[in-house]
DNA sequence: CTGTTAGCGCTTTCAT
DNA sequence: ATGAAAGCGCTAACAG
């Protein structure tokens, strides 16, 4: 069997009109659900013709004419990140509920691709874009021909809507939980803070809370590149443990990716979470319960974040020009044995 | 700041022509790189005008005219599956290397969406489609207006190209490794086998190898829905352990998702992999080394699978009508402490 | 209620 | 070498 299905060519609106013995206009009206303006018999004939020809309207032509494509795009930093994928699921559902198709653009952490995709999306005339974790400060972001909603990242005064986790609430919840559980020395481990508002907010809130408590040692470690600097990570952990010998110690990781790196480090160092040290992770990776005794996490309402980011975008696409808003959702603490 | 960037409207080819004091034809020629046919001065003027207007050709219009969209789609069963995401990365790279844009369609395991997406893709006139894990037997699959490449799933006589893991090689490698390591009783745990050729091949190869070896107990367990039937899973594991008391036992899991469920089960049952029982997983989840003592895995060349699925598709899109082919790549054993 | 007509932005004969 | 004009498939005035 050969693979030459390209040969089959599709019926057009004219074909339908001809078969139904009418004009393209009426067919178009039928397609757009303007039934009140079509006689029953004509409607019948058109219906028939469409079925017979197996006709489906060409979206490209439609888009060209109407100036809207029913396409929206999600730009994300790293498709490997489960958080992004979960957000994407919510977004996808919202798109389908509203007749939109989602274009997924994976920056793959390559700076150059940010611009590449933005241009591409302009070329394809997408109706709107949702951006997760873009870091460029390029001027291209200033005058985009479509509305934009930002997920999980605040970007300086661009006037875009934002949806994400309520980092203050979440960090407060996590920090207080650890303190209430009797941990006396807490180290907060994060990836690069530069340009990533979310991480900064978590760090700052953590610092603030720790400072308010007497007798609690709070420390923040920022490691630029977790993949490269594994010994640095190990060193920080070791020196933290030495410095705080005798105290109940815990680690907080800023996101799921860092959690993986820290778990690996702890294994290397032969430190057992839940016994030798506490461990609490932002994000709730699927493997959190299977890693050692299980890892306590701060789960984000990712699906909801994805879904409502579409809703915000939708409002903009319909012409809402009001002030940019922020929608922040609370996180949820999932307690496992790493913080016993 | 208001979010009304929609107002900015883009320059068209006519605008460029006007500014460059020429016709649309020449601009079009310029855009399509037909320089041999343009005088140096005209080329110069057009270049200038394009820059000045910040002009970018409208892909929708272009697609409508040319009949090709430079869009290809990936349909996948479950975006949550890391395997799919890894394949996607390879595919994405290939697309970008060749000037195509990737549309990602997530079936989300909802049967109805298979058809929905296929129709959608017809409507948008995509140039080709890569399908991972479709299970429908719907006739719609028969005459699609674009070429199709299947990833990891064989579908009955549809005449589509296939790319994926060499399941026979991989299963042989894994099984022999376990046997050579001294395991005497091996249970192969899989999700639903119906309609999923990949899993069937793994199971069958496993059975065959075990049968060839004297004194090795081999067993296969199929569980339809891992999410629902957790006690069933537990029971199977328990009875396997009882039946094979005194022998060196191991579990093989058919994919990463099953591995997670089995790990959870083992934790529930207080059976420790690497000590009480061996564990080997198809796929290589990121968390494999952090789960208990680490899990031995059979890693697939996912990136390469993704990349070459594009290459096959590309060939078809260029009009290659030769017989459908299969490209199977070998797997690699990653040994960790679960099979000590 | 229905059909004719003029484009959407681009490519492609076909003349010049 | 260059451009005028037709038309991809569809929608939206505008007439009837």
The dihedrals phi and psi of B149, each to the nearest 5 degrees, come to: -125, 135
- CA of B149 to nearest chain A CA: how many angstroms apart? 10
Question: Which among A6, A108, A289 is the nearest to B146, CB-wise?
Answer: A6
Look at residue A134 in the predicted model and tell me its pLDDT. 67
pLDDT score of A137 more than 80: no
**What is the pTM (predicted TM-score) of this model?**
0.89
Selected for mutation to probe chain B from A1, A2, A3 (highest B CB count within 10 Å) is: A3
Look at residue B83 in the predicted model and tell me its pLDDT. 93
B4-57 and B69-165+303-329 share one fold? no
Name the fold adopted by A167-300+333-339: Rossmann fold (3.40.50)
**Between chains, do B145 and A10 touch, taking CB under 8 Å as contact?**
yes
Q: Which residue of B has its CA nearest to A108?
A: B89
pLDDT band at A6 (very low <50, low <70, confident <90, very high): very low
Q: Cα dist. B70→A95, A101, B93, B171 in Å?
A: 22, 16, 15, 38
Per domain, the residue ranges of chain B are 4-57, 69-165+303-329, 167-300+333-339
- CA of A175 to nearest chain B CA: how many angstroms apart? 25
pLDDT score of A340 more than 50: yes
Question: By the 8 A CB rule, do A28 and A14 touch?
Answer: no
Q: Which nucleotides of D are covered by protein (CB under 7 A)?
A: 1-13
- CA of B173 to nearest chain A CA: how many angstroms apart? 26
Chain B residues touching A79 at Cβ < 8 A: 85, 88-89, 92
Q: Strand C: which of residues 20-39 in chain A lie with Cβ below 7 A?
A: 21-26, 29, 36-39
**Between chains, do B101 and A92 touch, taking CB under 8 Å as contact?**
no
Chain B residues touching A321 at Cβ < 8 A: 2-4
Between helices B167-180 and B197-212, what is the axis angle to 10°? 40
Q: Strand C: which of residues 144-173 in chain A lie with Cβ below 7 A?
A: none
Chain B residues touching A147 at Cβ < 8 A: 3, 5-6
Q: Cα dist. B324→A1, B155, B167 in Å?
A: 7, 12, 19
B124-162 residue pLDDT tens: 999 999 999 767 666 778 888 999 999 987 766 788 999
Q: Which residue of A has its CA nearest to B291?
A: A291
Closest nucleotide (C1' vs CA) to B11 is C9
Question: By the 8 A CB rule, do A230 and A260 touch?
Answer: no
In whole numbers, what is the pLDDT of chain A averaged over residues? 92
Residue nearest to nucleotide C5 (CA to C1'): A25
**Between chains, do A8 and B143 touch, taking CB under 8 Å as contact?**
yes
- Which residues neighbour strand D (beta carbon < 7 Å)? A 12-14, 24-25, 27-28, 31-32, 57-58, 61-62, 64-66; B 21-26, 29, 36-39, 41-42, 61, 64-65
In whole numbers, what is the pLDDT of chain B averaged over residues? 92
Chain A residues touching B286 at Cβ < 8 A: 260, 287
Closest nucleotide (C1' vs CA) to A35 is C1
pLDDT score of A86 more than 70: yes
- CA of B212 to nearest chain A CA: how many angstroms apart? 35
B281-317 residue pLDDT tens: 999 999 999 999 999 999 999 999 999 999 999 999 9
B163-179 residue pLDDT tens: 999 999 999 999 999 99
Question: By the 8 A CB rule, do B312 and B327 touch?
Answer: yes
Neighbours of A112 (CB within 10 A): 9
Cβ contact A122 with chain C strand, < 7 A: no
- The percent of residues above 70 in pLDDT, for chain A, comes to 95
**Between chains, do A287 and B291 touch, taking CB under 8 Å as contact?**
yes
- Note the CATH number of domain A69-165+303-329: 3.40.50.2300
Look at residue B134 in the predicted model and tell me its pLDDT. 67
- Lowest mean pLDDT, pick from A109-118, B63-72, B293-302: A109-118
Q: Which among A98, A3, A123 is positioned nearest to A312, based on CA atoms? A: A98
Look at residue A203 in the predicted model and tell me its pLDDT. 98
CATH of B4-57, one of 3.30.420.40, 1.10.260.40, 3.50.50.60, 1.10.3720.10: 1.10.260.40
Q: Cα dist. B87→B78, B82, B300, B304, B306 in Å?
A: 12, 9, 10, 8, 4
Look at residue A268 in the predicted model and tell me its pLDDT. 96
Q: Which nucleotides of C are covered by protein (CB under 7 A)?
A: 1-13
User: Rg of chain A's alpha carbons, rounded to an integer?
Assistant: 26
Question: By the 8 A CB rule, do B109 and A93 touch?
Answer: no
- The percent of residues above 90 in pLDDT, for chain A, comes to 80
**What is residue A45's DSSP assignment?**
H
Average pLDDT estimate for A22-51: 92
**Between chains, do B3 and A160 touch, taking CB under 8 Å as contact?**
yes
Look at residue B4 in the predicted model and tell me its pLDDT. 42
The number of helices, as runs of H, and strands, as runs of E, in chain B is 11, 12
B1-48 residue pLDDT tens: 334 444 467 899 999 999 999 999 999 999 999 999 999 999 999 999
Q: Which residue of B has its CA nearest to A140?
A: B54
Q: How far from each other are the two terminal CA atoms of chain B, in whole angstroms?
A: 62
- Residue B132's Cα: distance from chain center in Å? 5
Look at residue A8 in the predicted model and tell me its pLDDT. 60
- Give me A57's structure tokens: 């309207």
Average pLDDT estimate for A60-72: 92
Q: List strands edge to edge, sheet with B101-106.
A: B101-106, B71-76, B128-132, B148-151, B161-165, B326-329
- Give me B24's structure tokens: 């649309």
Between helices A24-31 and A40-53, what is the axis angle to 10°? 90
> Taking CB atoms and an 8 Å cut-off, how many pairs form between chains A and B?
180
pLDDT score of A33 more than 70: yes
Query: What is the distance between the alpha carbons of residues B273 and B334, in angstroms, rounded to a whole number?
Result: 16
pLDDT band at A108 (very low <50, low <70, confident <90, very high): confident
């Amino acid at each position: 069997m050969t693979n030459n299905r390209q040969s089959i060519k599709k019926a057009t609106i004219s074909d339908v009109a001809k078969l139904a013995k009418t004009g393209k206009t009426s067919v178009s009206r039928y397609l757009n659900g303007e039934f009140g303006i079509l006689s029953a018999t004509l409607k019948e004939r058109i219906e028939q013709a469409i079925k017979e020809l197996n006709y489906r309207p060409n979206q490209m032509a439609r888009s060209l004419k109407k100036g809207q494509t029913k396409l929206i795009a999600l730009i994300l930093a790293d498709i490997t990140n489960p958080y992004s994928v979960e957000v994407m699921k919510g977004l996808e559902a919202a798109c389908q509920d509203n007749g939109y198709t989602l274009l997924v653009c994976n920056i793959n952490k390559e700076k150059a691709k940010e611009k590449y995709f933005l241009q591409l999306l302009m070329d394809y005339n997408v109706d709107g874009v949702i951006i997760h974790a873009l870091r460029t400060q390029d001027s291209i972001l200033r005058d985009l021909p479509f509305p934009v909603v930002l997920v999980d990242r605040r970007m300086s005064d661009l006037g875009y809507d934002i949806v994400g986790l309520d980092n203050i609430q979440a960090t407060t919840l996590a920090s207080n939980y650890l303190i209430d559980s009797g941990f006396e020395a807490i180290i907060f481990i994060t990836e690069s803070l530069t340009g990533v508002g979310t991480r900064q907010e978590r760090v700052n809130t953590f610092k603030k809370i720790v400072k308010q408590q007497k007798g609690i040692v709070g420390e923040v470690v920022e490691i630029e590149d977790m993949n490269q600097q594994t010994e640095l990570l190990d060193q920080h952990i070791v020196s933290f443990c030495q410095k705080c010998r005798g105290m109940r110690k815990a680690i907080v990781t800023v996101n799921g990716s860092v959690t993986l790196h820290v778990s690996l480090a702890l294994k290397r160092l032969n430190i057992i979470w839940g016994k030798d040290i506490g461990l609490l992770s932002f994000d709730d990776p699927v493997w959190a319960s299977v890693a050692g005794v299980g890892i306590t996490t701060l789960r984000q309402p990712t699906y909801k974040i994805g879904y409502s980011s579409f809703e915000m975008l939708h409002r903009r696409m319909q012409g809402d020009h009001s002030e940019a808003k922020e929608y922040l959702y609370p996180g949820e603490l999932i307690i496992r044995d790493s913080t016993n």
